[in-house]
Amino acid sequence: MISHISIKDFAIIRDLELDLHPGLNIITGETGAGKSIIIEAISMALGSRADTDYIRTGAEKASITLTADMEDLDVQEILDDAGVPADDPLVLRREISAGKKSLCRVNGTIVPLSFLGKLCRRVADIHGQYDTQTLLNPEGHVDVLDLYGDDELRNVSHMVSGFYTDLTHTKAALDSLRRKLADSERQKDLMRYELQEIEESCLQEDEDETLEEEIRLMQNSEDIYQKLSQVYDAVYDSDDSASGRLGACLSALESISSYSKDLADAAQQFSDAYYALDDLGRDLRRLRDGVSFSPEELNEKMERLDLIDRLKRKYGGSLEAVFAYRDKAQRELQTIENADAELEDLESKKKLYQEQYETAAARLSVLRKRTAKTLEQEVDRELADLNFADAALSVSIEDAPAGEKGSDRVEFLIRTNKGEAFKPLAKIASGGELSRIMLAMKRIIGDLDRIPTMIFDEIDAGISGATAGVVGEKLRSISADHQIVCITHLPQIAALGDHHYRIEKTSDGISTHTTVVPLSEDGRVEELARLLSGTTVTDSARQQARELLKH
C-alpha cells in the first residue's frame, strides 16, 4: 500500500505531505481546493505523461515522491530484472523541469518512463479522469476472466500455456535444424572432400618435425660423413690413433696398480674412460656407415613435408589444428547423416503438441464463455446496486491467433443505458460512471489482480441518497482487502472512511497554496456538516453528521 505522498511545487501545491493508511482513506474539500491536482500528481508519480505546465509559478521544477510498503507489492521480479534495488519501502520519485526531460527514479535509480509505468501497474489503480488501471487495457482482460474462473478453467489455461511453450520451442528447434541442414547440405561435399584429404594423408603426430630433421641430415650428408670419418680415423683407425696411445697408457697403469689403492683406483677410472671411448667409437662407425644420400628419397621427404605444410596452412597452422578440424568435420557430417531421424522426431513432437494445444484451447474457450456469463450477471447486479439499473457488462470473446493464452481475444464492453450499443470501457466518457463501473468490477474480482491500492476520483458524480450509501458500503467492503483512497463530495461516502483528510486552499496575498489536513473526530463532524449544508454549517447539519458517523 501507499504510505506517504510528498508533492512539491506542483500547480498550486507548494509543499504537501500526506500520510495514508490501510483501509478507506477519504479526501474532501471545497470545489477548486485542489483535490484533482493531487490525483494528477499521483498519476504522474505512477507513470503518466509529464506536463511542464504543472510546475508552480516561480519554481524551477516540480517533484512528486510516493512511498509504498514492499510487503504488499508483487514487484520483486520486475525490480530484479531491471537491476533496481528492491528496498523496503519502495520509493517512486518523479521530477518535472521546464525545458528538460523529466526524471523517474525508483529507489534512487533513474529508470525509463516505460519501466515506471510497468512497475506502477502493480502498485495502484487510479479510477477517474486520470485512469491508468489495468481494467482499461483490453490485453489484460483475458487474465482477469481466467482468474475469475473456477479451478478447471485455471488448470486448462495453465495447460494451454504449457502446450504453447512446448509447441513454440519445438517449432524453433525445427526451424533451427532446417536452417542448419540447408547450410550444411551446401557444405557437405566440401567437408567430405576435406575430410578425405586429411584422412588420406595419414598424418602422424609430430611428423612435420621428424621430416624436417631427416631432410636436414640428408641435405648435409656429405659434410656429416666427412666429419664422422675424420673423427673416427683420428681416434681409432690411424697408426698413431688416440685409442692406441690410450691403450698403452692403460697397460702401464695396470702394471703398477697393485702397489697401492690409489694407483688401483686411478687405473680403474682410466679403464672406464678407455672402454667408454671404445663404445663411442662403435657409435661413430655406425653413424658414419649409416650416412647415405639418395636424391629420390630426399625428394620424397620434401614432397611429404610440402603436403603437410599445405594442410597446416589450410586447416589451422599446426598439425594439432589439422587433427581438430578433422574431428569437427567428422562430427558435423555425422549430425547431417543423423538429421533425418531428428527431423522426424521433432515433426512428431510438433504434431502432438499442436493437437494438445488445439484441444486444450478449444476447451478453454468453452470454459471462458461459460465463465463470462456468470461474470456478466454478477457485475450487472453490482451496477444495479450502484444506481446503474440500465447498465450492463458484456464480455466479448472472439477468435484470435493462437498464443500463450489460447486462441481467444477477450474484451470487457459496457453500456450505461438500455438501447445503447456496448462499448469498450476506455470509451466511457464520464469519469464518475467509469469509476463506479470499476468499483463494481473490483467488488466482484476482489484480490485477483493483486493491486493493493485503488484511488477513486469523481466516483460520486451523478448519485445521491441511498445510492451514495451503497457506493460507500462497497468501497468500505473492498477496503477490507485493499487500501482505498477516495475523493468525494458526498457525506454518505465520507462518513464511512477509516481516515479523513480535508484539502484546503489558502492565500498569503501573493500566491495561493493547497494543503492537506488530517481530520480529528470533531473535524470530521464539521467537514461532514459542511458537505451536508453547504457554506453555512448549522447545528442541525452537525447533528446529522454525528448520526452518519455513528451509523
Tell me the per-residue pLDDT of 43-89, one tens digit each, with 9 for 90 and over: 899 988 888 888 988 888 999 999 999 888 888 889 998 889 888 89
Q: What percentage of the chain's residues is helix, strand, coil (to nearest 5)? A: 60, 20, 25
**pLDDT at residue number 432:** 64
**pLDDT at residue number 438:** 79
- Grid coordinates given for 506: 489558502
CA dist 424 and 150 (Å) reads: 25
CA dist 341 and 336 (Å) reads: 10
CA dist 444 and 437 (Å) reads: 11
CA dist 347 and 357 (Å) reads: 15
Mean pLDDT highest for which of 124-138, 283-297, 421-435, 471-485? 471-485
- Three-class DSSP category at 16: strand
Give how far Cα 312 sits from Cα of 200, 213, 306, 318, 327, Å: 15, 18, 10, 5, 15
Confidence band (pLDDT; 50, 70, 90) for 282? confident
Give how far Cα 350 sits from Cα of 163, 173, 355, 358, Å: 10, 10, 9, 12
- In this predicted structure, which of 69-73, 105-109, 179-183 has the lowest mean pLDDT? 179-183
Length of the chain: 551
Confidence band (pLDDT; 50, 70, 90) for 301? confident
Q: Which helix (H) or strand (E) holds 71?
A: none
Could you report the per-residue pLDDT of 488-518, keeping only the tens digit for each? 989 999 999 999 999 988 877 777 788 889 9
Whose CA is closest to 485, among 43, 32, 81, 33?
A: 43
- Grid coordinates given for 404: 500463450
Mean pLDDT highest for which of 147-156, 277-286, 419-428? 147-156
CA dist 521 and 537 (Å) reads: 16
Cell 447498465: give the residue: 391
Confidence band (pLDDT; 50, 70, 90) for 433? confident
Cell 477548486: give the residue: 32
Distance between start and end Cα atoms, the chain: 27
Residue 429 reports pLDDT greater than 60? no
- In this predicted structure, which of 253-262, 373-382, 394-403 has the lowest mean pLDDT? 253-262
CA dist 355 and 167 (Å) reads: 10
CA dist 240 and 369 (Å) reads: 120
Confidence band (pLDDT; 50, 70, 90) for 3? very high
Over range 241-249, report the average pLDDT.
80
User: Structure pTM?
Assistant: 0.65
Give how far Cα 120 sits from Cα of 49, 91, 279, Å: 13, 11, 94
Dihedral angle over CA of 237, 243, 248, 251, nearest 10: -130
CB atoms within 10 A of CB 503: 23
- Grid coordinates given for 59: 519554481
**Is the distance from CB of 414 to CB of 423 less than 8 angstroms?**
yes
Sequence-ordered alpha helix ranges (H) in 121-258 = 141-148, 151-200, 207-219, 221-232, 242-256
Residue 105 reports pLDDT greater than 50? yes
**pLDDT at residue number 181:** 76
- In this predicted structure, which of 49-58, 230-239, 348-357, 395-404 has the lowest mean pLDDT? 230-239
Hey, CA dihedral for 475, 383, 439, 32, is it positive or negative?
negative
- Grid coordinates given for 6: 510528498
CA dist 453 and 74 (Å) reads: 12
Burial of 173 (0-12, 13-18, 19+ CB in 10 A): middle
**pLDDT at residue number 431:** 62
- In this predicted structure, which of 183-187, 238-242, 369-373 has the lowest mean pLDDT? 183-187
**pLDDT at residue number 27:** 93
Whose CA is closest to 135, among 408, 460, 448, 384?
A: 448
Whose CA is closest to 414, among 431, 438, 386?
A: 438
- Grid coordinates given for 525: 463532524
- Three-class DSSP category at 420: coil
Cell 479522469: give the residue: 129
Cell 697401492: give the residue: 260
What is the rounded average pLDDT for all residues in the chain?
Answer: 86
DSSP string, 127-145: ESTT---GGG-GGGHHHHH
- Grid coordinates given for 157: 489455461
**What is the DSSP code (8-state) at residue 55?**
B
472 or 283: which carries more pLDDT confidence?
472
Torsions phi, psi for 431 (to 5 deg):
-65, -40
**pLDDT at residue number 4:** 95
Residue 317 reports pLDDT greater than 90? no
- Grid coordinates given for 487: 475523493
CA 29 to chain CA centroid, nearest Å: 45
Residue 355 reports pLDDT greater than 90? yes
**pLDDT at residue number 387:** 78
- Grid coordinates given for 36: 484533482
Whose CA is closest to 295, among 225, 223, 218, 224?
A: 218
CA dist 271 and 259 (Å) reads: 17
77 or 134: which carries more pLDDT confidence?
77
**What is the DSSP code (8-state) at residue 374?**
H
